[in-house]
Chain A
Amino acid sequence: MVFSSFTFLLYFFPAVILLHYFLPRRAQNPFLLLASLLFYAWGDIRRVPLFLGLLIADWGLGLLMGKSEKKGTRALWLTLGLACSFGALIFYKYTAFFLGAVGVRWSGAMDLTLPLGISFFTFQAAGYLIDVYRGAVKPEKDPVAFGTFLFLFPQLIAGPIVRYQDLSGQLHIKRKPDARALDGGMALFALGLGAKTLLANPLGAMFKELRGFPGDMACAWLSLIAYSLQIYFDFMGYSVMAVGMGRMLGFSFPRNFDHPYAAVSVTDFWRRWHKTLSGWFRDYVYIPLGGSRRGKAREALNLLTVWLLTGLWHGADWTFLLWGLWYFVWLAVEKFLLKKRRIRPALLGRLLTLLCAALGWALFVSDGLGEFWRYCQDLFCFRAAPQALFWLREYAVLLLLSILFCVPKAVEGLKTLARKYPIFRFAAVVALLLLSVASLAASTFNPFLYFRF
């Protein structure tokens, strides 16, 4: 089930939020776990046993680690737990790619389609196990509470990557969000839904339309701008919806995006984009590898490791590996060659960061290196026809609105307005919701035209 579907929006979402609110404490976790399982099964029921198995293994290994005093034993349980989690991830996500890299085609009987959300699930579980191993958190004794943390539907398939300590305080109390949390959560949910349906989806259509004009440089760049905005509002929209739903359920999820396109440097960009993922890699890979404490060469190697892994986390293809490498190069340049890791003046830094991100997205969106090469040829062919002006005009309002919502000051201004005038917030949320429903209805608008048979 995706958030931007009628099944979710009209039935699942109101039913779960309202029932959860009125249930007694002891029933809240079992209810949420069951609801989350249903949510997952809706998309792919065949993978539910796999996830339940991992869930039980992670829970049990956490307990074992908590009981053991010896470091060696704990390390053993941790290794086992990580092997299970990453084993499943690597098997499903990368088998075909690694085999392909050595020239073998997967012909096994097993279905290798990627289980939905496995990348987020694995990272959350692995983070938990490592934290228990380090003694940073106490292991969760209650399997239902543990399942609720790991399987919680708002963040199950598209993040943010939540850490156990973010939720543990709320897992064992009666969750009764107050009016502020309910209103604020709903406002966030509507904002996220609007970002997804009213900006990301039309931007996706724009990207597709403009990629249909090969050999036109202006169209190629417009399409790249559209994709850069699309992926942001899509991902950010989902994250914000998750945060909003979390609040309505009485949880507080970490914020995943902080105006990434306002970053002054690439380093800054990654502090603002998908923060829970970069935080995960920092805490569980970069720092354990020694971070910047073991000399420049080691630091560079650690950075390279983190970014190759980040690339691969996003997808099993050479394009994603290169995408990670691309960021490694720019981050290394900023780290080792620039004073204070940034370019002055700030405006130039911002523009270069945007350019770096956009070209990165060209790699990210391309299905294979061949397609990326063709995209690059279009981006730098220095030919354009007047039709680009038509498309610019066609999408001008969409682009302007999208860019406006990337500017921190504009968003802050709207927030202040909403705080000052509750009626404005009320009207905006209701309008966003109705327009989102309208756009979802329009996206299924499917006129049958006899003359096209």
Chain B
Amino acid sequence: MRKAPVFCAVMALLLAIAIGGALLPDRDKSELENRVLSSFPAFSWAGFQDGRWTDDLETYAADQLPLRDAFVSVYMASQAVLGKRTTEGVILGKDGRLFDRTDGWQERNVERNAGTLKELAEKTGLPVYLLAVPSAAAVYPEALPAWVPVADEEALLAAAGEKTAVIPLLSALTAAKESASEPLYYRTDHHWTAAGARVGYLAVCDALGLEPLKEEAYQDYPGFFGSYYARFPLPWLKGDVFRSPLEDGLKLAAAGEEKNGILDGEAVAGRDKYAALLYGNHPMMELYNEQAPDQTLFVIKDSYANALLPALSRHYRRIVAVDARYFTRDIVEAVKTSEGDAVLCVYGLNGLSTGRAIALLPGL
């Protein structure tokens, strides 16, 4: 032992990890990675022959590595300390703020999605507006590391504007960030905050000719570690304070059942608090407000809309909202049967330029 200290120490370490892994109970899921961890693969001769079993065993050993989360965090932290600023498509900006890598965003996707909205307007005869939510990187470019390649989001928005009616938002957000007391985007999540969504609300009111109402009451939930954090979990990052609007007279119906309020109490206690808003994303949902003056608004959305719809529903008796990513029915039919007065699309520019969910909606 004393003669070969290096050999003995490393062997002891490896055996400790191996035996620890064997003795400790397996974890079912990882809170950090938000996924189910693999369990011990049942041996089969066929699986061994084609290499599936050995691959599964390696995945199992990696998933159930003792102190896995700590090892991952230590490695990511060491990388960040040594100057690495990107991981998993996330950029570490100044003051511990995280951003999306936007340099792969594609104008042709934006054009396709926006073109489909124009088609929807023609087929339904209703006015269709697009509120495309830019990324935090476009609103806070000064917080990005120097020379980082980014998409020209203004150009992407202009490309959308060529096809359909786009509600101006980027300039409003940029103007608001100086005066706002709260940041407009979360630091650890890709979504906008209540303050950011408020700017969006004012822009929508302006476009739809609504009289803006005063800010609603809200409640704060600290300890929000969002999607960016899940991809770049640096131990020293501070969580966000998640702010949820309090809307009393509002009823939410999704998947055929009426929900209790508009905030999922279970989800808001977890790490990803934004997912609690409107109980997350549904293929189709409806918001009712009996005190509202106007009639019905049809909304095509992704998750960015969830922070905005509660404020808008103070104006509409009924908001029918479909999530373009999950909605599989005929969209023209859905708009017509909703008897809405207008169609509003609230969508992250991220989704518009990295996917074609809107362009692929059935019926167009």
Contact = CB atoms under 8 A, between A and B. Distances in A.
Interface of A: 1, 5-7, 9-11, 13-14, 17-18, 42-46, 179-180, 182-183, 185-187, 189-190, 202, 213, 248, 385-390, 393-398, 422, 425-426, 429-430, 433-435, 437-442, 444-451, 453
B161 to A, nearest CB: 25
B296 interface: no
Cβ-closest 3 pairs across A and B: A179-B3, A448-B35, A390-B147
Contacts of A13: 14
Contacts of A440: 62
Given A179-B3, A187-B6, A398-B82, A46 B59 contact: no
Contact of B7 (A11, A248, A439): A248
Contacts of B65: 6, 437, 441
Given A44-B51, A442-B75, A447-B34, A14 B18 contact: yes
B231 to A, nearest CB: 5
B14 A10 contact: yes
Given A11-B18, A13-B14, A182 B58 contact: no
Interface stretch (B66-74, B109-117, B120-128, B168-176): B66-74
A96 to B, nearest CB: 21
B23 to A, nearest CB: 13
A424 to B, nearest CB: 11
Nearest to A184: B6
B88 interface: yes
B63 interface: yes
Interface string B2-14: 0111110111011
Interface in B156-209: 190
B210 interface: no
A450 B275 contact: yes
B295 interface: no
B7 A182 contact: yes
B284 to A, nearest CB: 17
B149 A387 contact: yes
Interface string B217-260: 00000000001001100000000000000000000000000000
Given A182-B7, A390-B147, A448-B35, A441 B75 contact: yes
Nearest to A41: B48
A442 B61 contact: no
Given A186-B10, A387-B149, 5 more contacts: A6-B62, A248-B7, A433-B14, A441-B72, A444-B59
Interface string B64-90: 010010011011101100111110100
B265 interface: no
Nearest to A445: B72
Nearest to B150: A387
A183 B14 contact: no
A10 B147 contact: no
B5 A183 contact: yes
17 contacts: A6-B58, A10-B61, A13-B14, A14-B11, A44-B51, A186-B6, A385-B149, A397-B84, A435-B75, A441-B62, A441-B72, A447-B34, A447-B35, A448-B33, A449-B34, A451-B190, A451-B303
Interface in B15-65: 15, 17-18, 21, 32-35, 48-49, 51, 54, 57-59, 61-63, 65
B155 interface: no
A445 B90 CA distance: 14
Contact of B49 (A11, A46, A396): A46
A5 B58 contact: yes
A277 B3 CA distance: 36
B147 A386 contact: yes
B325 interface: yes
A10 B231 CA distance: 26
Contacts of B364: none
Given A5-B58, A447-B32, A438 B75 contact: yes
Given A9-B14, A10-B18, A444-B62, A394 B7 contact: no
Nearest to B85: A394
A449 B7 contact: no
Contacts of A451: 190, 227, 302-303
Contacts of A187: 6
A449 B146 contact: no
A238 to B, nearest CB: 18
Contact of A396 (B10, B33, B76, B83): B83
Contacts of A42: 54
A10 B17 contact: yes
B341 to A, nearest CB: 29
A13 B227 CA distance: 37
Given A444-B63, A448-B33, A390 B149 contact: yes
B102 to A, nearest CB: 12
A439 B75 contact: yes
A438 B74 contact: yes
B76 A442 contact: yes
A446 B7 contact: no
A215 B230 CA distance: 33
B79 to A, nearest CB: 8
Contacts of B33: 445-448
Contacts of A393: 83, 85, 145-147
A449 B79 CA distance: 22
B148 interface: yes
Given A7-B58, A447-B88, A425 B51 contact: no
Nearest to B104: A212
Interface string B132-154: 00000000000001111100000
Contact of B13 (A5, A182, A433): A433
B58 to A, nearest CB: 5
Nearest to A185: B7
B322 to A, nearest CB: 15
B83 A397 contact: yes
Given A7-B54, A441-B62, A441-B71, A430 B148 contact: no
B41 to A, nearest CB: 12
Nearest to A11: B18
B5 A387 contact: no
Contacts of B63: 444
B4 A389 contact: no
Contacts of B231: 447, 449
B263 to A, nearest CB: 17
B227 A433 contact: no
A183 B35 contact: no
A5, A44, A425, A447: residue with the most chain B Cβ atoms closer than 10 Å? A447
B143 to A, nearest CB: 15
Contacts of B68: 441
Nearest to A432: B10
B329 to A, nearest CB: 18
A449 B51 CA distance: 28
Interface in B86-110: 86, 88, 103
A107 to B, nearest CB: 22
A134 B303 CA distance: 75
B190 to A, nearest CB: 7
A77 B325 CA distance: 69
